[in-house]
Structure 1
Amino acid sequence: MKQFRGFVIKEFYHIFRDKRSLFILFGMPIAQILLFGFAITNEINNVDIAVLDHSKDATTEEMINSIAASEYFSIDQFIEREADIETVFKQGKVKAVLNIEKDFSQKLIKDGKAYVQIITDATDPNTANTIFNYVTSILQKFQSSKNKSAEFPYQIVPQTRMVYNPELKSVFMFVPGVMTIILMLVSAMMTSISITREKELGTMEILLVSPLKPFQVIVGKVVPYIFLSVINAIVIVVLSIFIFKMPVEGSLFLLGLESVLFIITALALGILISSIAQTQQTAMMISLMGLMLPVILLSGFIFPISSMPFILQIISNIVPAKWFIIIIKGIMLKGVGLWFIWKETLVLLGMTVFFIGLSVKKYKIRLE
C-alpha cells in the first residue's frame, strides 16, 4: 500500500511538472466551455445592413430609425440605386438590404398598404432566415405603434428575396466550411508531427549537423504536404460540384490559387506547432484541440461572428479559417474577383509569412 501511494504521488508530480499536460487537462475544458457558451447562439446581434430608401419621407425615416435602434441591426450604409445592391453584397460585410418602395407614406394613406423588400445574403441560409424574421418582427411592432393613432389601420408588408442561394440549400453553407476544416486540420496535423517524429526517432541530430539552412529544412518538409493537400482540395471541389451540385460562379483558377495559399498557411502553422512540441502526441493534441474548435466556432462557418461577444470577434481575426471561408464563399457563390477579396488574401499571406518566420526562428534557437 505504501509503494502504491508513493507511485500515485510520483504520478501527480509528473503531471504538475508538465505544463502542457496541465493545459490540456484544465485549460482545454475551460476554453471549450467558454467558446461553446458564447459562440453557439441562434440569435443575431449588430448585423450590418444597408438601406435603399426610394421614398425618403418622414415615415420611412422613422421606420429606419426603429430598426437601427434595436440591438440586432446596425445600418452600415445607405445606397441610392438597385444596381449597388449586388456590389454591397459582394463586399461581404452587409448581410441584408432593406429596399423601401417609392411613395411609401402616400401608399400607406391611400391604399392602406406599403411594401418593404428584405434582400438577404443566403450564402448562410440560417442567418438569412433569422435576419428576415427579426426585421419582420420589428416592422410589425412599428406598424402596431403607428396604428394606435391611425383612424384607418394600415399594413406594412415585408417581402423577402434570398440572393446567391434562393432555395436556401444548407449544402451551400456547409461545403465551404467543411472544405476549410478538412484542409486546416489535415494540413496542420500532417506537418505538426513532422519535426516531433524526427525528435522521437533520434534523427533530429542528423538534421542539426546537416549543411541545410533552417529555411531549407522547413520548406523541404512543407513541399510534399502541399502537393498532397492540393490533391485533397481538388477532390473536395470535384465532389462538391458533381455530387452536391455546388456552383462555382467565379474563377476556378482564382479558387485554386486561394486554396493553395490557405493550404500553405495551414502547413506553416503545423510546422510552427511541430517546432514547439516535444512529442508527436503533444503536437497532435494541439493540432486537434487547439485548431478544431476555433475553426468550427470562430470562423463564421456555423455561427455568425457579429453575434458573438466583442472579445471573440477580435479573437476570430487571428483564425485563418475565417478569412478563407469569406474567400471561398465569395468565389463559389457570389462570383467575385480578386478586387473584392484582396484584403482577406493579404491577411492569409501575412499569416503565412509570420508562421514560417516564427518556425525558422524556433528552429534556429534549437541549433544554438
Structure 2
Amino acid sequence: MRQFIVFVRKEFYHIFRDKRTLLILFGMPVILIVLFGFAITNEIHHVQIGVLDNARDTYSQQMIRKMTSSGYFTVKQHLRSADEIEAAFHKGDIKLVVVIPDHFGDKFYHQKKAPVQLLADASDPNTATTVINYATVIIGQYQQELTGRIELPLTINTEVRMEYNPSLKGVFLFVPGVMTLILMLVSAMMTSITITREKELGTMEILLVSPLRPMLIIAGKVVPYIALSFIIACIILGMGFFIFGMPIKGNLLLLLGECGLFGLTALSLGILISSITNSQQTAMMISMMALLLPTILLSGFVFPIESMPGPLQIISNIIPAKWFIIILKDVMLKGAGLRQILLPTAILGGMTLFFLVLSVRNFKTRLS
C-alpha cells in the first residue's frame, strides 16, 4: 500500500507540474459555465420588432406599450403599410412584426373579435417560436385586463404555472449540462490520454515490471483525476449556486455521491479507450467522437431527446450523460431523493461495472 500511495503522489506531482493541464482542468469549467450562463441562452430580451398599427386608437397603443414594458420587445420601426413589412425583414434587425387591423377597439367590444397578426422571421426557427410564444402570452394578458372591465360572453381562462423553473432560466439547464460535459472531459479524455502517453513513450513497460500489479498501476493513474473531477464538480456547483442562483433542493451529499458515480463511469470509459489505443492522438480522437459529441448532442443537454427520431432516442439510452443529467435535474430542481433516482443511478452503476470489466479483460489481452 505504501508503494501505491507513493505512486499516486507521483502522479499528482506530474499533473501539478504541467501548467497547461492545470489551466485546462480548472480554467475550462469557469469559462464554460460563464459562457453558458451569460452568453449562450435561449431566453430573449429587447427583441426589436416592427409595428403596423392600422387602428391607431387607444387600445392598440396600450397593447404595444404592454409589449414593450415587458422588457422582451423594443419597437424598432413603425410601419405605414403592409408593403414595408418585407423590406423591414430584409434589413435583418426586426424579428417580429405586429399587424393591428383597422378599428381594433371597436371590433373587440362590438364584434367580440379583434384579430392581431404576428409575423416572425423564421430563418431562425427557435428564436421565431420563442418570440411568437412571448408575444402571444403578453397579448393574452392584455386581453384579460380588458375583459376584466366589461361584461363579455362566457370565456375560458387558462392559468399557466411553470414548476421547478418559474422564470424559465436557461442556466438551470446549462449548469447540469456543463457539469456533465466537464466531468466527461476530465475523467474520460484526460485519463485515456494519460495512460496512452505511457504506452507511446515506452514507460508503461517500465511500470509493469515494478512491484505494483498492473491494476494498481491503472488505479494510481486514475485516482488523481477522481479527486480533480470531484473538486471541479464542487466548483461548478458553487458557481451555479452563488452566481446564477441555481437551486439545490435535494440532499447535497446525495448529489456529490452521484457526481462521484458519474466520474467513475467516465473514468472507466477512459480506461477502456486507453486499452484499445497506443497513441495520444488516437485516444483524443476516439474520446471526441465517442464521448464528447454524444454528450452534447444525444444527452438532452442542448436538444430535447423527445424531439429526436425514434432510432436516436433509443441510442441515447446508452449515453451515460443522459442519465446523469436526469439525476442532476431531479436532485437540484425537484428535490428528489435516492428512491426517485434509483433507476438512472442503477443504470450508471451497471455501465461503470460493464466498462471496468471490459477494460480489464482488454487490458490483459493487450499485455499478453
- Residue of structure 2 in register with 1:269 after alignment: 269
Q: Which residue does the alignment assign to 1:167?
A: 167
Partner AA of 2:237 in structure 1: V
Kindly provide the CA deviation profile for residues 232-261 of structure 1, in whole angstroms up to 9, marking residues without a partner as x: 111111111111111110111000100000
Q: Distance in 2 between matches of 1:209 and 1:315?
A: 41
Match of residue 235 from structure 1 = 235
CA deviations over 1:323-347 (Å, ceiling 9, x no partner): 0000001111100100000010011
Cα distance in 2 for residues equivalent to 1:363 and 1:319: 23
Q: How does 1:14-163 map to 2 (within 5 A)?
A: 155-163=155-163
> In the alignment, what sits opposite 1:209?
209
Counterpart in the other structure of 2:280: 280
Distance across 2 between alignment mates of 1:360 and 1:213: 13
Superposition map of 1:274-313 within 5 A: 274-313=274-313
2:185 and 2:154 map into 1 onto residues whose CA distance is 55
Cα pair 2:179 2:236 within 8 Å, conserved: yes
Amino acid in the other structure paired with 2:280: Q
2: CA distance, partners of 1:238 / 1:340: 24
SS at match of 1:161: coil
Distance in 2 (CA, whole Å) between partners of 1:173 and 1:207 is 43
**Residue 248 of structure 2: aligned partner:** 248
For residues 75-102 of structure 1, the C-alpha deviation after alignment (integer angstroms, 9 at most, x for no partner) is xxxxxxxxxxxxxxxxxxxxxxxxxxxx
Q: Give the equivalent residue in structure 1 for 2:68.
A: none
Structure 1 position 280, deviation (Å): 0.3
User: Which residue number corresponds to residue 186 of structure 2?
Assistant: 186
Q: Which amino acid aligns with 1:262?
A: F
One-letter code aligned to 1:358: L
Distance 1:296 1:155 in 2: 44
TM-superposed deviation, 1:297: 1.1
Contact 1:298–1:319, Cα closer than 8 Å, also in 2? yes
Deviation at 1:206, TM superposition (A): 1.9
CA contact (8 A) 1:214 1:363 kept: no
Q: Distance in 1 between matches of 2:216 and 2:355?
A: 15
1:95 alignment counterpart = none
What fraction of aligned residue pairs are identical, expressed as a percent?
67
Tell me how far apart the structure 2 counterparts of residues 274 and 154 of structure 1 sit (CA, whole Å): 69
Q: In structure 1, what is the equivalent of residue 344 of structure 2? A: 344
Cα drift, residue 155 of structure 1: 4.4
> Residue 359 of structure 2: SS of its match in structure 1?
helix
Q: Which residue of 2 aligns with 1:323?
A: 323
Q: TM-score, normalised by structure 1?
A: 0.57
Hey, what does 1:176 align to over in structure 2? 176
Structure 2, unpaired ranges of 5+: 1-41, 43-125, 137-151
Give the Cα separation in 2 of the matches to 1:159 and 1:313: 32
* TM-score, normalised via structure 2 length: 0.57
Compare 306-315 and 198-207 and name the one that shifted more. 198-207
Separation of aligned partners in 2, 1:155 and 1:294:
47
Please report how far the alpha carbon of residue 287 of structure 1 lies from its aligned counterpart in structure 2 after TM superposition: 1.2
Q: How many residues align?
A: 226
CA deviations over 1:131-184 (Å, ceiling 9, x no partner): x97xx9xxxxxxxxxxxxxxx986444331100011111111111111111111
Number of the residue aligned with 2:112: none
